[in-house]
Amino acid sequence: TWAQVPQGPPDPILGVTEAFRADRDPCKMNLGVGAYRDNDGKPYVLSCVRKAEKRLLDKSMDKEYLGITGHPGFVQRASKLAYGADSPALAESRVAATQSISGTGALRIGGEFLSRYYPYAKKIYLPTPSWGNHTPIFRDSGLEVGQYRYFDKTTNGLNIDGMLEDLQNLPANSIVLMHACAHNPTGVDPTAEQWDQISQVIKDRDHFCFFDMAYQGFASGNVDRDAQAVRQFVSRGHYVALSQSFAKNMGLYGERVGTFSLVCQSTEEMKAVESQLKILIRPLYSNPPLNGARIVNQVLSDSTLYSEWLSEVKGMADRIISMRTALKDHLVNDFGSQHNWDHITNQIGMFCYTGLKPDQVEKLTKEHHVYLTKDGRISIAGISSRNVEYLAQSIHAVTK
Nearest distance, CB of residue 258 and ligand TYF, angstroms: 11
- Dihedral sign for Cα atoms in the order 352, 356, 360, 362: positive
What residue number has its CB nearest to ligand PLP?
103
Tell me how far, at minimum, the Cβ of 336 lies from ligand TYF, in Å.
Answer: 31
Using alpha carbons, list the distances in angstroms from residue 23 to 26, 194, 377, 388, 397.
Answer: 9, 43, 20, 19, 20
Among 20, 83, 131, 260, binds ligand TYF (CB under 6 A): 131
Burial (0-12, 13-18, 19+ Cβ within 10 Å), 268: exposed
Q: Which region holds residue 156: left if phi is over 0, alpha if psi is between -120 and 50, else beta?
A: left
Residue whose CB is nearest to ligand TYF in the complex, by number: 34
Select the span of 97-105, 163-171, 260-268, 288-296 touching ligand PLP (CB under 6 A): 97-105
CA pseudo-torsion sign 185, 191, 195, 198: negative
Q: Which of 13, 29, 75, 181: binder of ligand TYF (CB under 6 A)?
A: 13
Tell me the C-alpha distance between 360 and 358, whole Å. 5
Nearer to ligand PLP, 104 or 216 (CB): 104
Helices (H), ranges, 154-260: 160-169, 192-204, 223-226, 228-235
Q: Which among 248, 309, 328, 341 is annotated as catalytic? A: 248
Closest to 381 measured CA to CA, from 344, 355, 349: 349
Residue 103 touches ligand PLP, criterion: CB under 6 A? yes
298 near ligand PLP, judged by CB under 6 A: no
Q: How far apart are the C-alpha atoms of 297 and 310, rounded to whole Å?
A: 15
Site for ligand TYF in 91-130 (CB under 6 A): 104
> In the complex with ligand PLP, which residue's Cβ is closer, 32 or 34?
34
Q: Which residues in 333-362 contact ligand PLP (CB under 6 A)? A: none
Binding mask 19-48 for ligand TYF (x = CB under 6 A): --------------xx--------------
> Which CB sits closer to ligand PLP, 104 or 174?
104
Note if 366 is an active site residue.
Answer: no
Tell me the closest approach of the beta carbon of residue 245 to ligand PLP, in angstroms: 3
Q: Is 214 in the site for ligand PLP (CB under 6 A)?
A: yes
Counting contacts by CB under 6 A, is residue 131 touching ligand PLP? yes
Q: Is 63 a catalytic residue?
A: no
Nearer to ligand PLP, 130 or 399 (CB): 130
Q: Does 102 bind ligand PLP (CB under 6 A)?
A: yes
- The Cα 147–Cα 129 span in angstroms is 8
Cα(383)–Cα(74) distance, rounded to whole angstroms? 33
Is 248 among the catalytic positions?
A: yes
Asked whether 159 and 152 are in contact (CB, 8 A), the reply is yes
C-alpha to C-alpha distances, 332 to 155, 202, 350, 394, nearest whole angstrom: 18, 40, 21, 13
Judged by CB under 6 A, how many residues of this single chain contact ligand TYF?
A: 7
Q: Which entry of 51, 166, 189, 212 is annotated as an active-site residue?
A: 212
Minimum CB separation of residue 34 from ligand TYF in Å reads: 3
Distance CA 309, CA 301 (A): 11
End-to-end CA distance of the chain: 53
User: How buried is 197 (Cβ within 10 angstroms: 0-12 exposed, 13-18 middle, 19+ buried)?
Assistant: middle
Q: Report the residue from 69, 184, 384, 394 that binds ligand TYF according to the rule CB under 6 A.
A: 184
What does the alpha-carbon distance between residue 126 and residue 134 come to, in Å, rounded to a whole number? 8
Residues at the site binding ligand PLP, with contacts judged by CB under 6 A: 34, 102-104, 131, 179, 184, 212, 214, 245, 247, 253, 258
Catalytic positions, written as ranges = 131, 212, 248
**Residue ranges in contact with ligand TYF by CB under 6 A:** 13, 33-34, 104, 131, 133, 184
